[in-house]
Amino acid sequence: MTDTVGIVIVSHSKDIAKGTADMVRQMVGSEVKVAFCGGNPDGGLGTSVSLIIDAINDAWSAKGVAILVDLGGAETNSEMAVEMLEPARRDLVVVCNAPIVEGAVMAATEAAGGSSLAQVKAVAEELSAD
Amino acid sequence: MSLQPETFKSLVKVAAEQVIASAPELTTLDQAIGDGDHGTNMKRGFEAVLGKLDAISAQPLDEALKMIGKTLVMTVGGASGPLYGSFFLAAGEALSHDKHLPDDLADVFGSGVNAVSARGRSQAGEKTMLDVLVPVLETLKMAAGQPDLIAQVRTTAAAAVERTAPMQATKGRASFLGPRSVGHIDPGARSSCVLVQAVCASLEGRQ
């Protein structure tokens, strides 16, 4: 399945990332590629750039990938991961400014309808409006 | 201030060891106003740098700095990874583009500081590592070429880290505390100070 935007969930906690991914899959089944990661390189709470890069590649779609994050370090490390992708992929990955659980579910639901990356990001970010 | 390969190697070693030694202090500071992982994160990152020390110091200086940056990015596991990583990546990049040490030290350091500011979308005055890095950059500019430059940089860094205590954090996890962040030294400013002081000490030892 490469004609829907992929979703990546990045939390400091692998349990939160996995739980969020489970909720997304409940909504969209296998229509949308979903990958998740959580934990620092030692497995403690935190995030890992190399795990984020792996997750982006796992969820890769020609339509792009939307990343949902929890707290600051997840966002900073996700932005770093995007910059470390091969140049052709960088412009097709966005980090959404949205709450992680609601944002991931909304983004995936939008993606399942075949929406563009910009539309998926916009729908997730409506949750952060006002 | 020449920078021969052996000097650079021992400088990186001293800096990494000082960060690792300061991990308990950084953790204590971060427990007060953050999530308490700054010490262990920095220790993990700089242990990885030490593990690659031979490979790093075998590179030309620009590539060596980029290698340090990439190692920190991949191993730290918190926001400080991309922040410190971006500093070294940008400093290395500056050296790849017509900048030379020691003449362009302030420019090279400034490239790193700009990268931290961009990565963190932050400025000095927000109780972050920039509150040490920016004053150090100013001293590097103002005191360039002066015989006591290193001593001035040490004094600047030590004073700058103390000035983060009365600041209220508006960036990072400490910003969640609002006014309760006041009265604590910022852990990122402290780790920046440790790094700057270690580099100064290493260079002074070789003068």
Provide the token pair at A42. Answer: 């030692």
Which of B30, B31, B37 has the most A C-beta neighbours within 10 Å, making it the best mutation to test the interface with A? Answer: B37
B129-179 pLDDT, tens digit per residue, is: 999 999 999 999 999 999 999 999 999 999 999 999 999 999 888 999 999
Smallest Cα–Cα separation from A64: which of A124, A6, A25, A10? A6
Please answer yes or no on whether A46 and B173 come within 8 Å at the CB atom: no
| pLDDT over 80 at B47, yes or no | yes
Intra-chain end-to-end CA distance of chain B, in Å: 8
Q: Quote ipTM for the complex.
A: 0.88
User: In which band, very low, low, confident or very high, does the pLDDT at B5 lie, cut at 50, 70 and 90?
Assistant: confident
Provide the token pair at B64. Answer: 């060596």
Radius of gyration of chain B measured on its C-alpha atoms: 16
- Across B83-95, average pLDDT: 97
| pLDDT over 90 at B52, yes or no | yes
Residue A2's pLDDT is 53
Task: Please give the single-letter amino acid code of residue B53.
Answer: L
| pLDDT over 70 at B1, yes or no | no
Q: How many angstroms separate the CA of residue A105 from the nearest CA in chain B?
A: 25
B168-199 pLDDT, tens digit per residue, is: 999 888 999 999 999 999 999 999 999 999 99
The helix or strand, by DSSP H or E, that contains position A6, with its residue range, turns out to be: strand A6-11
B70-83 pLDDT, tens digit per residue, is: 999 999 999 999 99
User: Looking at beta carbons, which residues of chain A come within 8 Å of B34?
Assistant: none
Please answer yes or no on whether A44 and B75 come within 8 Å at the CB atom: no
| pLDDT over 80 at B123, yes or no | yes
Q: Rounded distance, CA B149 to CA B144, Å?
A: 7
Residue B194's pLDDT is 98
B11-26 pLDDT, tens digit per residue, is: 999 999 999 999 999 9
Please answer yes or no on whether B119 and A79 come within 8 Å at the CB atom: yes
Residue A59's pLDDT is 97
A22-61 pLDDT, tens digit per residue, is: 999 999 999 999 999 999 999 899 999 999 999 999 999 9
User: Looking at beta carbons, which residues of chain A come within 8 Å of B41?
Assistant: 40, 46
Provide the token pair at A106. Answer: 């909304």
User: Looking at beta carbons, which residues of chain B come within 8 Å of A97?
Assistant: none
Q: Rounded distance, CA B181 to CA B141, Å?
A: 31
CB pairs under 8 A between A and B: 57
User: Looking at beta carbons, which residues of chain A come within 8 Å of B77?
Assistant: 40-42, 44, 46-48, 73, 77
Mind spelling out the 3-state secondary structure of chain B? CCCCHHHHHHHHHHHHHHHHHCHHHHHHHHHHHCCCCHHHHHHHHHHHHHHCHHHHHCCCHHHHHHHHHHHHHHHCCCCHHHHHHHHHHHHHHHHHCCCCCCCCHHHHHHHHHHHHHHHHCCCCCCCCCHHHHHHHHHHHHHCCCCCCHHHHHHHHHHHHHHCCCCCCCCCCHHHHHHHHHCCCCCHHHHHHHHHHHHHHHHHHCCC
The residues pairing with B131 across neighbouring beta strands, listed in sequence order, are: none
A61-119 pLDDT, tens digit per residue, is: 999 999 999 998 999 999 999 999 999 999 999 999 999 999 999 999 999 999 999 99
Could you say which of B73, B77, B85 has the minimum Cβ distance to residue A40? Answer: B77
The per-residue pLDDT of chain B, averaged, comes to 95
Residue B204's pLDDT is 87
What is the fold, at CATH topology level, of the domain defined by A4-123?
Rossmann fold (3.40.50)
| pLDDT over 50 at B39, yes or no | yes
